[in-house]
Amino acid sequence: MGRENSTSGEGFILVGFSDQPGLERILFVFILIFYLLTLMGNGTIILVSCLDPHLHSPMYFFLTHLSFLDLTHVTCISPHMLVNFGGPDKSISFVGCVIQLLITLGLGGTECVLLAMMAYDRYVAICQPLHYFTLMPPQLCWALASISWFLGFSNSLVHTPITMTLPRCGHHQINHFYCETPPVIELACVDTTNYKKEIMILSSIFLVFPLSLVLVSYGHIARSVLRIQTPGGRQKALGTCGSHLMVVSIFYSTIIYVYMTPKPKPSQDVTKFVALLYNLIPPCINPIIYTLKNRDVKEAIRKLVMQKQKGNT
């Protein structure tokens, strides 16, 4: 087949775990449960953060963005995964693959930067508590959030067209369960070594700079916490930052494994499992991590439930 026909709008087959139908049935239930929990958890955080005036602070502003990001990311891939794992149809249209790649790549980059912005917010809250609202005005919060979204989707808008227009010479079986950059590139029938190097460099930038900002912020936070004399004050400070640090650890460790570490072909199933965990678990447990020890959020949820009950009586 000529190259001129190799990048036309034909669809793709998502191989997933089709050689293990029993496993796919188990994963169908697993994905469905995590998807519903993600919708409920992140939807609750967005709702209470918007409705409760006590949560109109920079911390919950960024948390709302993170919840919306996670909600969008999971919704972009989970429904199609459920269709593919739940039946014989493993196909995805060319347009559907472009949209999936564009959105997931953009959201992944956005989350990298957003977590760094949240680390800076925690640094100001712990190290400059008396000037917190002065140093973090709404205009700055919106600017930092906008920068996160802009950088994430700028990267995606550059890479998605290049990835999707690589000559494929009729190859259309993606060895993955959704359209992601590395397995889509593997369909190319031309040398992609230089392009892979470019992706590695840009991925490193998106990981190294935000992660460096996170580490610097938490270095200053750790130093400030150690200077706190009262156990109660130290525990409060650790509680304020512990949730974010846990989310950062889970996110960056999995994304570094998926995108930055060289993997031989025999580990492809392992890579797919890690990618599955990376795409499903953090968006589901982020709301739990942020609300489990957070009195403000639990109090806001309690108020909303009581108001709902009063409205029904």
Domains recognised in the chain with CATH numbers: 9-166+173-312 (1.20.1070.10)
pLDDT in tens, 164-173: 999 988 888 9
Q: State which H helix or E strand residue 175 sits in.
A: none
State pTM to two decimals: 0.85
pLDDT in tens, 209-265: 888 888 898 888 888 877 776 666 666 666 667 777 777 887 787 777 766 666 555
Sheet holding 91-92, edge to edge: 91-92, 12-14, 173-174
| Distance (Å, whole) CA 244 – CA 115 | 8
pLDDT in tens, 28-65: 999 999 999 999 989 988 988 888 777 788 988 998 99
| Distance (Å, whole) CA 46 – CA 34 | 18
